[in-house]
Structure 1
């Protein structure tokens, strides 16, 4: 086992013979085969092609004989595609186990954001094109057409309300806006996305002839709406409630790691039957008073032992700071486990655990849990200063018992570029810094967790060292 602190060095002593500790037998989370990702992508593109086919079969191409007809036809197509993508978004974030195991929440959230902005853009195009198309064939003019559409067409007032709700969600999803909002506020506003989708349904059924133009169209749209609704009810509501009731989770103890970090131990029934692995996270709700309805994603900081679950939380907001005041016996609701930051995605004998700040917590659990021989696992812990390192002695002892190499890399960040390195190593490229500590990094799986921009730099450094994307495993908790 090796422990080092910056400056970086290639002088790595040989690890002593470890005392290998075995972990208890329990259900393990296994990554879904990559073919499920391919099938999901094919299903999404297939649905978009099917919707376009329904639009063509409905005679929309033949209606493009005038300016109004052209605008109206394209407005219908953009509306159909926007609706399809909106429901795909709902399905993506419904916590469907197979999708979550195939992609992981990090990747699902990234795709959800991309599809969300695309859907919103198409929705805006739909509104503009339909309005202009109707106005082109009306003597009422543009403003008269707008008033007529909103007040006299069935379901349009509800659709306007849904559009406003979706605009709020999209506006607060822009990166700069997200950075100015507390997580609690962003989470509450984001729930309006479900309201927006729900309010759009009456308008689509009552005024959208394309939804009932044929039995195939009716079956497709009703099937997609029902699938989205059932997925949300079952996996976002029913499954978490059953899991929490089944295991009877309650806070057992609260440990103050330092003034700004807390470890919460939760005990429950039959936790050995909960298929979770070290490195995964749950959405946690502690029923301790106002604010309990908002879930917070916290990774397991210790390998599950079949009796308790432990999370270590940095006090970054109101919700996380409340963990320091929890009382033993407080009831706990959980969603999960989620994430692909676990041993089930491992492909190589050698593993690098690369973490920064509170992102070290799931990696600490992995260090404890991974099957390994001497020198198989290397952990690099990046912190602003030595005082910011949590569990220094504990990690040192754990690495020794597991035969792992451990490096503490401390110091203020490099100025002038995004980098995973501290200022003391500014003369090195990010890839050179990794190679100094892990010369054979190209033969490793790399698990990364920390602040989002730091992770971007760390992942790019790993790629520059020859690690393929398929062997870089990351979990982001930025919203």
Structure 2
């Protein structure tokens, strides 16, 4: 590991949308108070999610007298409850994936999608249980065999639609399994996931046709319809409507392409009234570049410089055919976008002390984050990691920014080591370098980590072992 040289460069003062927030540096008590308020809001959101599942059970309990006098009735009742809770979780999943600004500001897009993914299997298991218990329960009640009962049930149009919805949801969950997802092109995975909207819609007639719980004119039915309206409205407005309106209003185009490495290019974008987006260094957008070769693929790319009133810069590494084609974009190419997203910003800080670890193309949000970070000199330590000198794009810009503000920068280049310090080079690991030795006062700092998934996992584990509170860890993920 080596420290950087004392080279300094002039860094211009903030002039973009964040400049007004930099007039007064927040104190330690103010940062902790802001963090507590944010955590309280996150807790309320979690309670609301599980409260909605409990409410689904309440709907069944309040619908009328419950007959549990026989095995068949018990199975049918359990099946109904499983179906309602499972459907509720699916609607929650839709809201989490809808990129609602309020949720994004609280937990970030990445964390919301992690929770979205965690709910997938429980929701699917509940829906499968719903179907199985109802078939068996009705078969016992009608003294029919299970196969005959299943055929009789599936003969009705609303149940057939529900079966198709269940098949679609099985496909969505199956393609989300890590082993499967790794071999699928993003476009295939994304296309299958669009089935979730269709699947949820197909199940509506089946649910509303059942008078046991969602009877016509009942408050239970009104509540259930409102849940659907909220979920689909969230998707329609924030996933599709708002990005379309913003893209049309701000008229972003490519104005320049700069190759800064063998596989890395910076794209310079220009638009109008970009301050209205309230983007911050460290956030990312979903970009779609309108050329014949690139229009079909939306790219999640972080800002690599703090945005200004009329310009933004993103830096991308060629990791596949889609991203490789961005290096050939021509000035004037129209750009549509969704965002900004993510909480890899100073808004989630809890302390005036900041530690930053970046690897590979993960330096891009770090570079933008540092540009507008309000932290005192000596309070920030940055670790830049690369397997070879080929992976040092934007490093000099980070070094210049850090030196101009009195921050410390360390670099670690070379093959990774092994053991607990395996996120550093083998030479650094052999010398016993660790998160605790790189970052002073780590337990009292906020740690920002951005890089490949496995590497980031190792940084996180090392930092937590060194005593970093989990709430002080902020991470940007690049996987989908």
TM-score after normalising by structure 1: 0.91
Is residue 401 from structure 1 mapped to residue 392 from structure 2 by the alignment? Answer: no
Q: Distance in 2 between matches of 1:229 and 1:165?
A: 17
Q: 1:84 to 1:375 in 2, by over 3 A?
A: same
Moved more, 300-309 or 384-393: 384-393
Q: Distance in 1 between matches of 2:43 and 2:241?
A: 28
Q: Distance in 2 between matches of 1:237 and 1:205?
A: 27
User: Aligned to 2:434, what secondary structure does the other structure show?
Assistant: helix
The within-5 A match list for 1:253-332 is: 253-289=256-292, 292-332=295-335
Q: Aligned residue for 2:382?
A: 379
Of 229, 234, 237 in structure 2, the residue corresponding to residue 234 of structure 1 is 237
User: Aligned to 2:260, what secondary structure does the other structure show?
Assistant: strand
Displacement of 1:333 in angstroms is: 0.8
> Alignment RMSD, CA only?
2.4
> Residues 30-54 of structure 1: CA distance to partner in whole angstroms, max 9, x if unpaired?
9983332122122122222222122
> Residues 53-87 of structure 1: CA distance to partner in whole angstroms, max 9, x if unpaired?
22122347x32222211111100000000011111
> Residues 204-229 of structure 1: CA distance to partner in whole angstroms, max 9, x if unpaired?
11236322277221121011001111
The within-5 A match list for 1:39-50 is: 39-50=44-55
Q: 1:76 to 1:234 in 2, by over 3 A?
A: same
Q: Aligned residue for 1:9?
A: none
Q: Aligned residue for 2:477?
A: 476
Q: Distance in 2 between matches of 1:149 and 1:165?
A: 19
Moved more, 200-209 or 380-389: 200-209
Q: Distance in 2 between matches of 1:438 and 1:473?
A: 15
User: Aligned to 1:289, what secondary structure does the other structure show?
Assistant: coil
Displacement of 1:193 in angstroms is: 1.2
User: Aligned to 2:38, what secondary structure does the other structure show?
Assistant: coil
User: Aligned to 1:466, what secondary structure does the other structure show?
Assistant: coil
Is residue 130 from structure 1 mapped to residue 134 from structure 2 by the alignment? Answer: yes
Q: Distance in 2 between matches of 1:220 and 1:130?
A: 23
> Residues 344-402 of structure 1: CA distance to partner in whole angstroms, max 9, x if unpaired?
11222221111111111100111222123332222111111122211343333333223
Q: Aligned residue for 1:459?
A: 460
User: Aligned to 1:23, what secondary structure does the other structure show?
Assistant: coil
Q: Aligned residue for 1:38?
A: 43
Moved over 4 A (4+): 12-20, 27-32, 415-418
Q: Which has the higher contact order (CA 8 A, sep 6+)?
A: 1
Q: Distance in 1 between matches of 2:200 and 2:378?
A: 52
Q: Distance in 1 between matches of 2:400 and 2:49?
A: 48
Q: 1:18–1:402: 8 Å Cα contact kept in structure 2?
A: no
> Residues 283-333 of structure 1: CA distance to partner in whole angstroms, max 9, x if unpaired?
111111255243221110111122211111111123212211211111111
Q: 1:303–1:365: 8 Å Cα contact kept in structure 2?
A: yes
Q: Distance in 1 between matches of 2:320 and 2:118?
A: 27
Is residue 146 from structure 1 mapped to residue 147 from structure 2 by the alignment? Answer: no
> Residues 194-246 of structure 1: CA distance to partner in whole angstroms, max 9, x if unpaired?
11111111111123632227722112101100111111111111110111111
Is residue 53 from structure 1 mapped to residue 44 from structure 2 by the alignment? Answer: no
Unaligned runs of 5+ residues in structure 2 are 22-33
Moved more, 45-54 or 221-230: 45-54
Of 160, 185, 207 in structure 2, the residue corresponding to residue 157 of structure 1 is 160
Unaligned runs of 5+ residues in structure 1 are 6-11
Q: 1:129 to 1:115 in 2, by over 3 A?
A: same
Is residue 389 from structure 1 mapped to residue 392 from structure 2 by the alignment? Answer: yes
User: Aligned to 1:284, what secondary structure does the other structure show?
Assistant: strand
The within-5 A match list for 1:59-458 is: 59=64, 62-151=66-155, 153-207=156-210, 209-212=212-215, 215-289=218-292, 292-415=295-418, 419-427=422-430, 432-458=433-459
Q: 1:17–1:403: 8 Å Cα contact kept in structure 2?
A: no
Q: 1:17–1:374: 8 Å Cα contact kept in structure 2?
A: no
Q: 1:355–1:448: 8 Å Cα contact kept in structure 2?
A: yes
Is residue 22 from structure 1 mapped to residue 18 from structure 2 by the alignment? Answer: no
Q: Distance in 2 between matches of 1:426 and 1:162?
A: 52
Displacement of 1:25 in angstroms is: 4.6
Q: 1:146 to 1:397 in 2, by over 3 A?
A: same
User: Aligned to 1:283, what secondary structure does the other structure show?
Assistant: strand
Q: 1:471 to 1:241 in 2, by over 3 A?
A: same
Q: 2:266–2:313: 8 Å Cα contact kept in structure 1?
A: yes
Q: 1:252–1:329: 8 Å Cα contact kept in structure 2?
A: yes
User: Aligned to 1:420, what secondary structure does the other structure show?
Assistant: coil
